[in-house]
Structure 1
Amino acid sequence: MECGKPHVVVTGASTGIGRATAERLAGSGWHVFAGVRREADAARLAAGAITPLILDVTREDQVKAAVVAVEQHVGPAGLAGLVDNAGIGVTWPLELLPLEALRQQFEVNVVGQVAVTQGFLPLLRRARGRIVVIGSIGDRMNLPFGGPLGASKSALGALTESLRQELAPFGVRVVLLAPASIHTEAVDKVEQGAHQAVASFPPDLRDLYADTYLGMVARALARERAGSPPDVVAAVVAKALSARRPRARYLAGKDARLLATIGRWLPIRAQDALRRRIFHLPAPGSLTQRGPS
């Protein structure tokens, strides 16, 4: 059943960037299928031009059901846009990182995004639609203890680059959007997760890592809280979906351009020194007398 509007699917739409994107697009003439994991979130979003979809990107059955539901609505017109936004953030010292947490990081941020994209591609090809992938500035300039998240976003960026070239012959454009310093509800979740992580550290290694890790997380999150609102990213998503000739990569958020420039041009040694100064990290070799061998 077509409604005369262009249709877009936004994953991870319950809060933050995803919700802001769904609301902005719905207010700009799009019919938005908003992917959420919980019925309560679906009930809060259901209004006007927003149709919620129960969509956990790691569940094959829900991805298939979402594709069927969208196809029944859009018909031969196809799908004009897909915003791959769903994601989680794992921060942890790599020496202590549970491998299952690393697998889950990649299952959501990488495998799940590919699964959703594969599912909706026939509809996108039908409409010569666009895909906007929400990456991170962290794929250019990663932080200590942010390795799992940064690695997943770097992998997603590499896949997006390949996808852009593979789909170009079909008229499907693919855009990577890299936000930086965005204040969302996820900030509080990361802070809670960091304290839970420290509680799980073995006592001997807790002494090595706890202070540095918690201090780093606190300072990084303070910068996030002082960052841009999610609608700043949503506005760039809308631009990427509607521009006559969209760029391959967009930046969004406070300091995004500065961080991208630093990550590209500043020597690695200088980058490390800058991070140590900003986040009050220990100097190289300063902890060699502490902890187990």
Structure 2
Amino acid sequence: MRSNSSPLGAVVVTGASSGIGQATAVRLANAGYHVFAGVRKESDGTALQLLTTGSLTPLILDVTDAERVAEAAREVDKSGLPLAGLVNNAGIGLAWPMEVIPPETLRWQYEVNVVGQVAVIQAFLPLLRRATGRIINIGSVGDRLTLPFGAPLCSSKWAFASITEALRLELRPWSVHVVLVEPASIHTSAIHKLRHDVEDVVAQMTDDQRTHYEASYRSMTDMAYEREQAGSDPDVVAKVVLRALTASKPATRYLTGKDARLLASMARWLPDRTFDRLRVKLFGLPSEFGGAAKQRVHL
């Protein structure tokens, strides 16, 4: 801990080891908040402290571990600092064909991205209510649309968006603002893990499943990889988080990142069938409805 005082109070940022969480923790610390940065390993926390001259305390935090979540809330409470904000950024992203994904893998996606987020919010809400702090949930533009093979991640973000909306209404009596930040393409180190994940998924497919899905699955993930490689810097999200924390009346949702507004507009205004055709073309999926059955007949 560099300092135990801050005129702006404390902010907890989960998933701060890298990417959006790291950029957010650094920007908020530089802005004058005392940041409690949720990390999985002590070495990540030490590295994070070197990135800012501001006030930052690493917080060992696994959102799926109830004891660690409770201990983290107690540690923040003991600091004596008012909790100005909770930034829920921790999460994982899985891409699978829905016919193929093991149920336990789908459950884990929800355990981290939905149940774990709720557990953290519940643990810190007494401190937020006491200080009239704010909740900033990092969602995704994927909470407005779904990509082929992206249902595990996108559906968890849809669920988190729904929870965010409910919280926004439920916490109004205590003047606790609840904000959803919806990034689109953001370039982070997590994208490099996608290549390994794709091979792992394909390896778990049966021969029939590979015949059905491998080509289109690889096409979609290759396109996703290219888009994320060309995505915005994570700091664009961090800037939005700071704006949401400091605005006298924050927006309920903030779109940010490359193509975020374009994607959201298409999802809102295009008819479903038109948007389907666009996604099929964009991600290199078979274009003809029923094409697989017709192909079998010709074989």
- 1:8–1:33 Cα contact (<8 Å) kept: yes
Question: What secondary structure sits across from 1:241 in the alignment?
Answer: helix
Report what 1:106 is aligned to: 110
> Paired residues, what number?
289
Report what 1:187 is aligned to: 191
| Cα deviation 1:218-248 (Å, max 9, x = unaligned) | 1012011111010001100010011111000
Query: Matches of 1:288 and 1:238 in 2, distance apart?
Result: 52
- 2:94–2:150 Cα contact (<8 Å) kept: yes
| Cα deviation 1:81-122 (Å, max 9, x = unaligned) | 000000000100000001111000000000000000000001
| Cα deviation 1:131-165 (Å, max 9, x = unaligned) | 10001101111100000001100000000000001
Question: Does 1:50 pair with 2:46?
Answer: no
- Percentage of matched positions with identical amino acids: 56
Q: CA deviation at 1:124?
A: 0.4
Report what 1:286 is aligned to: 291
Report what 2:78 is aligned to: 72
- Of 252, 258, 264, which aligns to 2:262? 258
Report what 2:42 is aligned to: 39
Tell me the amino acid that sits aligned with residue 293 of structure 2. T
Alignment of 1:99-138 (within 5 A): 99-138=103-142
Query: Matches of 1:191 and 1:52 in 2, distance apart?
Result: 30
Q: CA deviation at 1:4?
A: 3.1
Alignment of 1:208-247 (within 5 A): 208-247=212-251
Q: CA deviation at 1:50?
A: 1.2
Please, what TM-score do these two structures have when normalized by structure 2? 0.94
Structure 2 gaps of 5+ residues are: none
Query: Matches of 1:282 and 1:230 in 2, distance apart?
Result: 33
Question: What secondary structure sits across from 2:180 in the alignment?
Answer: strand
| Cα deviation 1:190-226 (Å, max 9, x = unaligned) | 2210111101111121111111101110101201111
Alignment of 1:150-189 (within 5 A): 150-189=154-193
- 2:42–2:58 Cα contact (<8 Å) kept: no
Moved over 6 A (4+): none
Tell me the amino acid that sits aligned with residue 60 of structure 2. I
Please, what TM-score do these two structures have when normalized by structure 1? 0.96
- 2:6–2:32 Cα contact (<8 Å) kept: no
CA root-mean-square deviation: 1.3
